[in-house]
Structure 1
Amino acid sequence: MKNWSLILVFLIPFHVFGQEVNSSLTEENLLPLGVLIETAISNAPLISRLSKGQEQRQEEIKIAKKSWTQHIALTGGYNYGNVVVADRLTTPQDISTVFRTNTSSTYYVGAALRLPLSELSTRKNQIKIQELAIEEMEFQKLDIEQTIQQEVTKRYNELLKSLTTIRLQAKKVEADETAVQITEQHFRNGTATMDEYRMALDILNTAKIELEKTKRDAWFYMQTLEQFVGSSIFKKS
């Protein structure tokens, strides 16, 4: 009887160890891989930073294209005074000229552009440099997106593999539990030895340990995937 009690005490911790199972961690509740990749890319801080850098470069290009306006000089003037106007009068008998004085005001406005040829070349080069920088940032974004796609796919597949392994190991635990029950019955009836019963228990306990290890792996993959994506990886209920 003492041996039997020891065996029960040995089994209880592993039984409790395998009780807690979260039903939400299933393949059916996960968002599709494509959605997770798109979410991870949209939440990537480095991609957002590069996009802001591109916007800044675009604004600098606009400034460079308008820089020629600083070389425009506006001129103008205003005059006020008496003006002598000559009017020619024609009659059938004679042609005569009459001079009269009018008071009037006059003004003028003009613009002058003084732009050195070197300035044109410099401005063109500045714009080209900014355009190349924008293009380089776009390539960097594509590289980051490709890395994100690879990492999310890798972690997603690791999680799916763990979930599949959990299902298989859970079935093995059930089969081993049935084997222990049968062996226990034979042990009570005297048709199985203590060594046979202990072997059945060892097999069951090993299966439970492996199951719990895989569960911990699955939770680890789930958490790292969520951290990489930047939001929940589960479908909304």
Structure 2
Amino acid sequence: MIRKSILALLLAASGVSAHAALSAGDIAFTSFNADEDGWSIVALADISANSLVHFTDNTWNGTSFANTETAQTWNSGASLIEAGTVVRFTMVDSTTAIGVSHGSISFASSANLGLSASNETIYAYQGAAWNSAPSSFLAAISTASNGFDNATYGVLTNTGLTVGSTAVAITTGTDFGQYTGARSGQGNFGEYRSLVNAKANWATATGGDQSLSIPDTTAFAVTAVPEPKSAAMLLAGLGLIGGMVLRRGGR
């Protein structure tokens, strides 16, 4: 009976965490394409099944969104998305051809479809609805000439996001740009935030037709670090083996 009660509690706890909210920096933009009208993100934390994330290029003025641009709602799908996974969003300007590599995506608002190479800002956030007060801003990317410093094109005021850590401002006029830095070698996924959100780690094209440019969707990986206890036990074991070898050699 006690075992059944414990099992029930564990199942209940797992149900509570199944739709755990995301926080700033749990995802980051890894590409932007104004010609194809798409982008990609990397999950820097596990994303629970059926998580909802809104994306919009509506201007955020520090207190609310304008209602003159497009918004999409992404459902992450029936399976957990592991940290390190790159998710690509395609043709977000098309009500019939819009797509995503994981889960599903739908339009929440289809005003003024399409992305601009200049003075464009995209926000990723969670909330009850795309046009309600966000419960949490997750990431942002901007091609504005002054980054996030102009309320006309979108700011980071009251978002909890910071350029270089949880938001990135890339070259204005970017038709296609993507993160080209390291995707392996860090000790944990959080250490990639400052890399992915650094403008210096992005390659951008500011001319020509980039609609067929395909972003790198290679997954990010971390280097496992032995736990202190495990390392100590390993060393102790090696020491024991070494001692036995020495004793046998001395016979």
Tell me if TM exceeds 0.5.
no
Query: TM-score by structure 1 length?
Result: 0.20
Larger proportion of helix: 1
- Which structure carries more relative contact order (alpha carbon 8 Å, separation 6+)? 1
Larger proportion of strand: 2
Query: TM-score by structure 2 length?
Result: 0.19
